[in-house]
Structure 1
Amino acid sequence: MSDDEQERTIAEDLVVTKYKMGGDIANQALRLVVEAAKPGVSVVSLCEKGDAYIMAETGKVFKKEKEMKKGIAFPTSVSVNNCVCHFSPLKSDPDYTLKDGDLVKIDLGVHVDGFIANVAHSFIVGVCKENPITGRKADVIKSAHLCAEAALRLVKPGNQNTQVTEAWNKIAQSFKCSPIEGMLSHQLKQHVIDGEKTIIQNPSDQQRKDHEKAEFEVHEVYAVDVLISTGEGKARDGGLRTTIYKRDPSKQYGLKMKTSRTFFSEVERRFDAMPFTLRAFEDEAKARLGVVECAKHELLQPFSVLHEKEGEFVAQFKFTVLLMANGPHRITSGPFDPELYKSEHEVQDPELKFSISAFTTVAALWTTFPMIKLRRDDVTSSINPTICRRHILFPLLFSLRESSPHDESQDNEEEEEEEDEMETEDRDGEGAEKPTIITFDPSLPTSHAYLGSDMEEFHGRTVHDDDSCQTIPVLPHTAVMLVPGQTLPLQLFRPQEVSMMRSVIQRDRTFAVLAHSEAVEQEAEFGTTAEIYAYREEQEYGIETVKVKAVGRQRFKVHEIRTQADGVAACLPIDDALRLQLLKIDSAIQRLRCELDIMDRCTSLCCKQCQDIEITTKNEIFSLSLYGPMAAYVNPHGYVHETLTVYKTNNLNLVGRPSTLHSWFPG
């Protein structure tokens, strides 16, 4: 970035959107690799799977912005047991095959236009609720996870990085574990993965002296990286080949070897200052040769493969957090289930224990509907702001108290004195400047004109009977505390949220907002229904966006949360035998597991008669319909065909001239 360019931050809505898009892709890539990490699977294949998914998904966003760089911000690495980090082997390197009971750490990153979303997650291969993990593996995973949760509460404007360091030490000690010495969590900026402000883990005396104290500020972004060991916390170079590097823009050198110059030129063109893996080069042998001179003269920074002592275990959790004006917002995380890990230890520090006490965060997708019990508010209160000559009380926050007769008389006296004083000033000061009359539109705070003036408006009101049970979709937002009568503006771009709102509009325009707050550490069981009164769909930067104005209506109590598993099968390109198998399963959870297994195994679509000839792949499927990629078509003779929409196909040999006479999608 040149000196003339202004640094772009999350104060811009578009920057936030790019961070969230990268975060969504990173989360999905992580889940894909976690689900594929089974006994007998090689680490190389997992790394390739994660990187391929990131490149494919980032290639689908901002297609019109030809010059925009996007892709991998940190190559997928899979570090097992005592391997601390950065294990991402080449095809020509010795590989590792996963086994039952391995402690696996997956680390990866995504960037959209240089805005980075990093994530890392730890789990045990083969773990299940029927056989939870105990012992030292459970201790270290629990410890690392709680350290991450504590950091989420401590990394906020006004706090200092030293507070996070001390909290990590206390939590790790409670589980008889140690943070990896000297590891850093970095501030993120556009195209910068290792910003100036850092959080250090378990510093030595010298590191503590040298490390710069810093205060977190609004509109900053951090990749919070927690690495905890069952051992001493000393990470060492284990002697394995380094495969991940990053360009150091501050270093310059005239390379002597042609292979090195060619290699370095490709690094600058493809990766800029983002970390990359030698596996990304077409010719690994030339890449291994070219990197030597570049690393020797510090043009590239190595990410060495580090190890703890043999027999120890290391767990890692990393998340990206945006320090928004309304509080920290975590955009990346992994699928952690605390019931899978049973430790005999717990956090000892009372303040930390309260801060990170367990609670259930409800983040329902549009396919998840809660059964809620509704209660109507008995009293509706309203507040009218007072405007005096000298002060404007802006109608945002109010501090209310009861007024006594004494208070009223005192206020009246003060007001009369103020009027007399102003009259005296006006008489005495001939050249005095007259008071400026300030007017403002009292409807401005609730109009939300920035969402657009052409929103479709709705009238009427949906009222549910007292003490009745209703099935209402839940908004998957945990940072909104809505009360009846309050206006709720929303800008939604995640596919599940957009789909949910389309469904809500077609019904009674009512959805539920659970009352969850990080300030109140308990499970969300109450909330408020919201009714949409203005709605608009549009495309911004190639992304489908829904803008909504809603108002809080009625309080409710959650009665039951139900997960519906029948909508998934309708979107799967599966044969009749598999559909019959799904129909026979009574349990919704078992049906979902079976469907997830089918989706994991279904990578290619082949000709039914030729069997092994691939027509298209799972990645080419897209949803032309609101209800998914699968549809049905009945021809003029009454025969029903099932149809599937894809971007492109292979190995199709048409017999005769193609006809569009009865096509359900013209052309």
Structure 2
Amino acid sequence: MLRLFRYLHRRRRANSGESNRNNNNNRNNNRNAVALITFDVSLPLQHGYLGNDLQPMLPDASSSQTAADSAEKLIVELPYFVRCPLGVVVPGQIVPVTLHHPVDVSAMSALHRSGPAASLVAAMPRLCRFGATLRILAFKEETDDSSGLSTIKAKLIGWQRFELLSARREFDGRCTARVRLLPELTNPRLAPLPGAWHSARSNRRLNQAASPAPAWVMDSYRPSRLATEAAAELSNWCPTVADAAAKSAEDPLGFSYWLMRQLPFPDWLRSELLACEHPCRRLVACLAALRRCLGFACGGCGTRLAGRADLICLSNAGCSGAYVNPSGQVHDLVTVATVTKSSLRCRGWSSSEHSWFPGYEWRVANCRSCGKHMGWRFDRSTGQRRLQPKKFWGLCRSALSPCWVETTDETADAGSC
């Protein structure tokens, strides 16, 4: 028995030493990957493919936040762009658009003349009622001399949460949405957390807490503490993502929206998170998702595409961003350094025309199993030998499905608080 005990003890020490060496190797590989990035991460947010002559219209963010706090669920009517499907937009998200339809061009021109405080609502996905209004950051209108048709290129930014009540079409073809503007609650208060991420047992435990709640309960759900925990959890993913998270974690309200933009949540889940009145609810839900997410798979057939350690930040906004092609279709991309072997198939020739990442050529990438369009592969151009990384992948958020770790009810209860 003593010999068996010594043997098991040596095996345990050997296994622990091997796991520590593997973890150190993974950290060293991630550090080397960060050191090899020579791409200018400020270029994607500039959207230079739209042109350098866009007229800036920079709104004052502080005045918007003050108006949002003072408004008590104000009901207003805003222009509704039904031919501009952008998905569920998150506050702070920059979205480039290219409008060709005469009705949309006329409505956007009128909105531009109204001033920087004018807001609009993009087309909402089905069964989604909560989103964010949009304001114009930069604007340019071009007219074709031969046809006389106008085209608008603009950069929009998500501004304030809203709830869609109804929408109607006017006699001239324009659409109007009746929305309820939702204020941001910054005062901490104890409330039931979203049932999608917490079991009924934990909700009952929180609801039974007397008011005022004990100090340890309030401290556990402080937005600043939740933001710090989420930033620390991101360090297990990728160093480039963790560095961007550390810069954004100083503002818990903005950090909750930043997390929603980085994680490839489906539109219906984004809409449910935007319905939360307090940032601590969104932070708790995002923190639970960070701990459960193992990677990303094809939304059509479930083929594993990439792990969470494969994320790479090639933009100041993080590893996720919205881009528009010449036809006006907006794609929300998640950039990864590598994908699972034999999971994607590239087709067509490489092209640098209208490239979203200057210095890289793109190729269309489809799922090898089901043929679903997943995104693009970006390879550095021939004359850009010093540009790193040599290649990466841009996967569409709408085509991805998160891979969740399977947990029991007891495990979910233990990790919920």
Same fold (TM over 0.5): no
User: Which has more helix, going by share of residues?
Assistant: 2
Larger Rg: 1
Higher relative contact order (CA 8 A, sep 6+): 2
Give the TM-score normalised by the residue count of structure 1. Answer: 0.19
